[in-house]
Structure 1
Amino acid sequence: MAILRIEDGKTYTQLSDITRELAPLNIRLERCPVGKNLDLPGLLAQYILSPAQKEQVLQGVSNHFEQVKRYGYQWRDLMVLHPGATYLYALISHLDRSHTQVDDEALYVLAGEGIFGFVRSDGSQVELIVQAEEYINIPSGTEHWFCLTASLHIKAVRYFTTVGGWMPQYTQTQSNPNCN
């Protein structure tokens, strides 16, 4: 279940409340159960996946890809981050700074969790913890940042409109220091 923290100390856990709070930013958050694919729980429990296992996971949630194609997504990959990943901290250091992107950023979390921070039009920031079985779409141009929770673990399908993927355009906004 997603958790939204507002700078004034309020916390929201109901999807309807979170959706209302994020509506001015046009952020879409949906609950999307993974389904009944019998192979997925075992694969999602593993820290490390081979390329063949990653493809198996992507095939296991291909119905979701078919649903989001209507938004222009043409390509996807499986992001697998865990404490032993050699590229973990390099990747985090690029995403935990406030940035925007030319394309929408869409993520379907299958296991683990991550924190998105958003900068509102008044300059205030909110933090959204997204967890397993949640899909988030962040519109292009939305100022945000991303980091992992203390578990340093997430498996998520990233959706792209182009093969080039998301290219961050960093802003001068100081992002929330709650990142690891």
Structure 2
Amino acid sequence: MTLLTTWPESGPETLVRRTSDPAEIAAALAPIGVRYEQWPVREDVPADADSDTVFAAYGAEIEKLNAQEGFTTVDVLGLHPSDDPEYPAKAKAARAKFLQEHTHDDDDEVRFFVSGSGIFYLHVGGEVHAVLCEKGDLLGVPRGTTHWFDMGTSPSFTAIRFFHEEDGWVGNFTGDRIADRFPDFDTIDAGYQRDRATA
């Protein structure tokens, strides 16, 4: 299950939309060219699975998407809390980088969440769409779309990344601090989990 929250770009004081219905989310994102779909979840895949395990579990889905979209490079990115003394610094640096609003000139940003969660914030057409993705969610953000990503203060996710270009992730940062005006991952996720617990 995922969550879409939409506000005016001026700030979160006015709520435009809030839904966790997958069909509504896909329909709301389609007009801005964003692909949202859900793949079957492989419950036997550990949250911190390595690349070989992930590719073996989702090979059919990966091949199908590659054939549809012409991706040339696929990899697996994971970040999970651990006893590694370097984890806090790695997590802080990774979060700070992606929290800056940016675009991509040469490639789409396509991610499938194998485990965990994160939020893509899409700044399009005078609105900000916060898409909380969880295990089983695939999101495709078209090149040129202004956005940022928040993985929270304690990142925990594994995602498959798809690229058309071998250069991989190359961001063009706008310098706009718009992300500071909107609820972060921890705030949205905490509210979402409370709502789910009481539903």
TM-score range normalised by the length of the shorter chain: 0.7 to 0.9
**In structure 2, how many angstroms separate the alpha carbons of the residues matched to 1:76 and 1:65?**
8
Shift in Å, 1:151: 5.1
* DSSP 3-state at the match of 1:152: coil
1:19: how far off?
1.8
Equivalent in the alignment of 1:88: 91
Q: Identity of paired residues, percent?
A: 24
Which residue in 2 is equivalent to 1:148? 151
* Displacement after TM superposition at 1:179 (Å): 4.5
Please, which runs of 5 or more residues in structure 1 have no aligned partner? none
Q: 1:72 & 1:20 partners in 2: Cα distance?
A: 24
Look up the SS of the partner of 1:87 in the other structure.
Answer: helix
Matched, 1:54 2:58: no
Matched residue, 1:4: 4
Whether 1:106 aligns to 2:110 is yes
Normalised to the residue count of structure 2, the TM-score between the two structures is 0.77
Correspondence 1:30 to 2:28:
no
CA contact (8 A) 2:118 2:185 kept: no
Which residue pairs with 2:26 in the alignment?
A: 19
Matched residue of 1:91: which SS?
helix
Q: Which runs of 4+ in 1 moved over 4 A?
A: none
Residues 34 and 61 of structure 1 are in contact (CA less than 8 Å); yes or no, is this contact kept in structure 2? no
| Pairwise CA distance, 1:88 | 2.0
Within the alignment, does 1:178 sit opposite 2:184 as a pair?
yes
Partner of 1:79 in structure 2?
77
SS state of the match for residue 145, structure 1?
strand
Higher helix content, 1 or 2: 2
Asked whether the equivalents of residues 113 and 148 of structure 1 are also in contact (C-alpha less than 8 Å), the reply is yes
**What runs of 5+ residues in structure 2 fail to find an aligned partner?**
8-13, 187-199
Task: Give the aligned CA root-mean-square deviation in angstroms.
Answer: 1.9
Q: 1:131 aligns with which of 130, 134, 141?
A: 134
